[in-house]
């Protein structure tokens, strides 16, 4: 028997495409909002969010008791409690503001999602995350929140396209080299753009490399959009003559774009590289071409950069985590929601007042042995000098690390092992046990296709 909560995707998609078309001029204009206008927008949005969450969410009603939402100021936000992924998943139903929604229903929607999302009640879509941190989260976006999220992802590209005269008469193809399932935001791209002049065609990262190359050669996409770990391997395929594409632009997403990868991708394809930060929680950051700093959608999400104690960190200092408040999502209010990415605030832009920051990695990536902490850079500084190592994955062991390497040429594993032992010793872990091996493929998240590069005990 069909569950009546599930409604057809095609009409929902058509409504969303029309909605985003209507919102496009406003969203493009928001790109140049100054700090004062953004702050006023955040204050009004936060007051409305707090009032709604306190009235409709049992979880937030307890936490916001005594809060005067109508007079709430941005400066008071730091006094509210932090919300963790563990709390979200443990009290999932109580966080939601629509009593028709439950975790069981959301999990059913995700479990039965393939290439298209499964809308609930013709109002909601569910996404999941956790490929990078290893801890799974489930997120329910209402129609308005989804429109704000996807508009944030698209508006910078739309602005550049309009400035260039619009898409070509025959349309434009973007190859999405990312998640194959629509449970992840990147995996849903092809479904959401069906029938539009700028269409996204999937090239799932789970495909064998040779099959991805063949598909891209047949597509001849104008834009490559995907995980940087795979874009770097495709750059090698292009240099070695197996891939033959001429993109006008390249967008990286979902994983850290390492400097050596950026240089290799840009030089090989001769196209500017734009980096994208997108989270299922609704936070979106887009870099300017060939820039390392992201400009985040401060009109949709308030972001706090904090240290281990929860205190704000100054510009130029890496945070221990970030706290995100999504102003748009009323179905599942995320208020000071903890994300373990480490941001470094950069100087404000002259052209707008949105948060500018670089992403220094994830707090989860730091490996710890008792009181000894080893930053991922210790291992990466060795691997980056190893030309044959295309990519890698590190697992912490009780007395060291296990390293899986994708190698494009013969690799001296004994020499690599020795270099790593010395690097770890210099960083404070003497006599580390290091196992290094070449593998045909690295383990990726089954749904999102993301690569978790550092895996602690």
Task: Assess whether 358 and 446 both reside in one domain.
Answer: no
Enter the tokens of residue 8: 């057809």
The pLDDT value given to residue 242: 96
Q: What is the pLDDT of residues 75-94, one digit of tens each?
A: 999 999 999 999 999 999 99
The pLDDT value given to residue 385: 67
Instruction: Provide mean pLDDT across the span 358-386.
Output: 74
Pairwise pLDDT comparison (128 vs 386), residue with the higher score: 128
The pLDDT value given to residue 188: 82
CA dist 419 and 407 (Å) reads 17
The pLDDT value given to residue 133: 46
Q: Is residue 24 predicted with pLDDT exceeding 90?
A: yes
Instruction: Provide mean pLDDT across the span 404-412.
Output: 86
Task: Assess whether 192 and 294 both reside in one domain.
Answer: yes
The pLDDT value given to residue 396: 92
How far CA 41 is from CA of 298, 328, 448, in Å, comes to 9, 11, 33
CA dist 387 and 446 (Å) reads 28
Q: What is the pLDDT of residues 247-278, one digit of tens each?
A: 999 999 887 888 888 999 999 999 999 999 98
CATH number at residue 389: 3.30.300.30
Task: Assess whether 59 and 206 both reside in one domain.
Answer: yes
Instruction: Provide mean pLDDT across the span 55-66.
Output: 96
CATH number at residue 43: 3.40.50.12780
* Structural domain boundaries enclosing 430: 367-455
Instruction: Provide mean pLDDT across the span 30-35.
Output: 97
Task: Assess whether 202 and 338 both reside in one domain.
Answer: yes
Strands 372-374 and 367-369, sheet pairing:
antiparallel
CA dist 321 and 120 (Å) reads 32
The pLDDT value given to residue 134: 47
Decide which of 317, 345, 362 is a domain's last residue: 362
- Asked if 70 contacts 51 with a C-beta cutoff of 8 angstroms, the reply is yes
Q: What is the pLDDT of residues 141-170, one digit of tens each?
A: 999 999 999 999 999 988 888 887 877 777
Helix, strand, or coil (residue 430): coil
Q: Which residues contact 203 (CB under 8 A, 6 or more apart)?
A: 175, 176, 177, 212, 215, 216, 219, 226
Q: What is the pLDDT of residues 127-142, one digit of tens each?
A: 987 544 446 789 999 9
Q: Is residue 377 predicted with pLDDT exceeding 70?
A: no
The pLDDT value given to residue 168: 77
Q: What is the pLDDT of residues 295-338, one digit of tens each?
A: 999 999 999 999 999 999 999 999 999 999 999 999 999 999 99
Q: Which of 353, 357, 359, 451 is nearest to 404 (CA)?
A: 451
- Asked if 272 contacts 247 with a C-beta cutoff of 8 angstroms, the reply is no
Q: What is the pLDDT of residues 108-120, one digit of tens each?
A: 998 888 889 999 9
Q: How confident is the model at residue 445 (pLDDT cuts 50, 70, 90)?
A: low
Task: Assess whether 303 and 393 both reside in one domain.
Answer: no
Task: Assess whether 28 and 74 both reside in one domain.
Answer: yes
Decide which of 308, 343, 362 is a domain's last residue: 362
Task: Assess whether 229 and 155 both reside in one domain.
Answer: yes
Decide which of 362, 377, 410 is a domain's last residue: 362
Q: Is residue 43 predicted with pLDDT exceeding 90?
A: yes
CA dist 206 and 250 (Å) reads 20
Report the range of poorest mean pLDDT among 208-212, 213-217, 231-235, 442-446.
442-446
Task: Assess whether 241 and 326 both reside in one domain.
Answer: yes
Task: Assess whether 195 and 283 both reside in one domain.
Answer: yes
Q: How confident is the model at residue 449 (pLDDT cuts 50, 70, 90)?
A: low
Q: Is residue 234 predicted with pLDDT exceeding 90?
A: yes
Task: Assess whether 326 and 372 both reside in one domain.
Answer: no
Integer Rg of the chain from CA: 22
Tabulate helix, strand, coil % of the chain (nearest 5). 35, 25, 40
- Asked if 338 contacts 80 with a C-beta cutoff of 8 angstroms, the reply is no
Task: Assess whether 48 and 120 both reside in one domain.
Answer: yes
Which region, left, alpha or beta, applies to residue 371 given φ > 0 means left and ψ of -120 to 50 means alpha? Answer: alpha
Task: Assess whether 242 and 265 both reside in one domain.
Answer: yes
Number of domains in the chain: 2
């Amino acid at each position: 028997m069909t569950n009546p909560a599930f409604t057809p995707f095609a009409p929902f998609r058509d409504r969303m495409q029309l909605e985003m078309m209507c919102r496009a001029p406003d969203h493009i204009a928001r790109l140049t909002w100054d700090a004062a206008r953004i702050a006023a927008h955040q204050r009004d949005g936060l007051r409305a969010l707090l009032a709604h969450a306190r009235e409709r969410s049992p979880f937030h009603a307890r936490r916001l008791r005594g809060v005067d939402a109508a007079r709430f100021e941005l400066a008071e936000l730091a006094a509210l409690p932090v919300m963790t992924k563990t709390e979200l998943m443990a009290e999932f139903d109580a966080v939601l503001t629509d009593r028709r929604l439950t975790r069981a229903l959301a999990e059913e929607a995700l479990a039965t999602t393939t290439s298209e999302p499964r809308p609930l009640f013709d109002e909601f879509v569910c996404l999941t995350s956790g490929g990078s941190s290893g801890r799974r989260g489930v997120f329910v976006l209402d129609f308005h929140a989804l429109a704000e999220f996807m508009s944030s992802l698209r508006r910078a590209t739309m602005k550049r396209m309009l400035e260039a005269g619009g898409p070509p008469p025959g349309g434009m193809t973007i190859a999405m080299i990312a998640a194959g399932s629509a449970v992840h935001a990147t995996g849903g791209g092809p479904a959401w753009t069906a029938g539009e002049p700028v269409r996204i065609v999937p090239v799932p990262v789970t495909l064998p490399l040779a099959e991805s190359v063949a598909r891209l050669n047949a597509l001849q996409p104008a834009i490559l959009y995907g995980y940087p770990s795979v874009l770097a391997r495709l750059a090698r395929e292009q240099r070695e003559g197996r891939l033959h594409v001429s993109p006008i632009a390249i967008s990286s997403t979902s994983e850290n774009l390492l400097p050596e990868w950026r240089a290799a991708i840009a030089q090989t394809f001769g196209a500017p590289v734009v980096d994208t930060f997108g989270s299922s929680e609704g936070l979106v950051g887009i870099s300017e071409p060939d820039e390392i700093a992201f400009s985040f959608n401060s009109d949709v999400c308030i972001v706090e950069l904090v240290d281990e104690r929860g205190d704000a960190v100054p510009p130029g200092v890496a945070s221990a985590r970030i706290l995100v408040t999504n102003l748009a999502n009323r179905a599942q209010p995320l208020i000071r929601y903890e994300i373990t990415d480490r941001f470094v605030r950069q100087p404000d832009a002259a052209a707008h007042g949105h948060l500018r920051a670089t992403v220094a990695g994830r707090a989860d990536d730091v490996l710890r042995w008792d009181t000894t902490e080893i930053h991922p850079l210790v291992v990466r500084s060795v691997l980056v000098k190893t030309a044959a190592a295309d990519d890698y994955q590190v697992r912490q062991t009780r007395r060291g690390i296990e390293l899986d390497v994708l190698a494009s040429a013969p690799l001296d594993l004994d020499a690599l092992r020795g270099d790593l032992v010395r690097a770890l010793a210099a960083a404070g872990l003497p006599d580390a046990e290091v196992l290094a091996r070449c593998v045909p493929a690295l383990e990726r998240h089954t749904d999102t296709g993301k690569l978790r590069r550092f895996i602690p005990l």
